[in-house]
Structure 1
């Protein structure tokens, strides 16, 4: 059976290197025979603001309904995003806020601090671009964007294992390095990792 892979690009700019990385992963996965779909969050039409918090459910816009179905049927989720101010781009955070909801991604148990993880059986990879060495981001900042997405979102909802690939240092990169990074991500796509 073909592996069903969903690549989710959180960078809003179509000209970004993150777009190229997401496309490279998809091309590698397709070449290997996997089913691989791609969501560019910046191209979706939805309100990223969880307007009422969790006190009142907002209706999901058509683009979010389609995205939710793709997430549900995927075996492997690949999240591609830059680190901005130690975190995720606002549009990506809004996408998660609007879709990873109680009853969809997790469900708290009545009269309990525990919850049910509704997205178990899926795996994930985070591909994140950074403007500092990965070791510096880890030692001095504690990997905030990775912790947020990996531990507080994906693993919280039952998705595991979650692998992480750091791409950078972006601001000092040259064309040769970028070509090597594209090739690396293409190979990850071929291996479905």
Structure 2
């Protein structure tokens, strides 16, 4: 399978980077082709300019390449921290610029965008790994889980990805090396289950 892995964390020593590296290594061991995009390392520009709004807009080469890659992916893996109940801005900008109408989703003929979209992505499975420093009980009681709705309904379901597994590792700031090793074992198992050899 051709898999696209998108990482959004500014610190190369972060646990998010360990998750992404572990997932990519396991998936390659299983025989998959994995393209890993570290959005911060690549200095991905998250600003969506007005010139890119139109469905038939002439896109910069880098954005066009990202669009083509995600459209061709058999599976998608996203790794990011939970910041304010949202992905980092760089990842939100990636969504804005890459998951475009006409490529990731479309509207039925005669619909000008006010109706129900039809997903166009080839991928039928996605995995989202999040890290958090808020205990689950407080997250659920005070904030709910906005990332669950965002990834499963607002992004992947809209784009036609029907199976989404989301896993949150918490509380990262208080975790021990042994706990992190257990979590990385969970990462290996999840990607192997979702994208078997």
Q: TM-score range by the shorter chain?
A: 0.7 to 0.9
Match of 2:45 in 1: 47
Does 1:150 find its partner at 2:152? yes
Identify which range, 118-127 or 157-166, moves more after superposition.
118-127
Moved over 6 A (4+): none
Unaligned runs of 5+ in 1: none
What do the CA deviations read for 1:24-80 (whole angstroms, capped 9, x no partner)?
A: 011111112222221111123443112329754664333323322221221111111
CA distance in 2, matches of 1:154, 1:190: 20
1:82 maps to: 81
Tell which deviates more after alignment, 53-62 or 182-191.
53-62
SS in 1 for 2:126: strand
Q: TM-score, normalised by structure 2?
A: 0.86
Query: Could you say which residue in structure 2 is the equivalent of 1:67?
Result: 66
CA distance, structure 2, for counterparts of residue 49 and residue 140 of structure 1: 31
Given candidates 169, 174, 182, the residue that maps to 2:184 is 182
Q: TM-score, normalised by structure 1?
A: 0.87
Query: Which 10-residue stretch deviates more, 58-67 or 166-175?
Result: 58-67
Q: Deviations over 1:91-145 (max 9, x none)?
A: 0000110111111111123246222211155210111001123343234212112
Paired positions, count: 191
Corresponding residue for residue 95 of structure 1:
94
Residues 115 and 87 of structure 1, relative CA distance in 2, 3 Å threshold: same
Call closer, same or farther: CA 1:142–1:30 in 2, change over 3 Å.
same
* Structure 2: runs of 5+ lacking an equivalent: none
Instruction: State the 1:176 CA deviation.
Output: 1.2
Q: Structure 1 residue 180: deviation in Å?
A: 1.4
Aligned to 2:80, the other structure's residue is in SS state strand
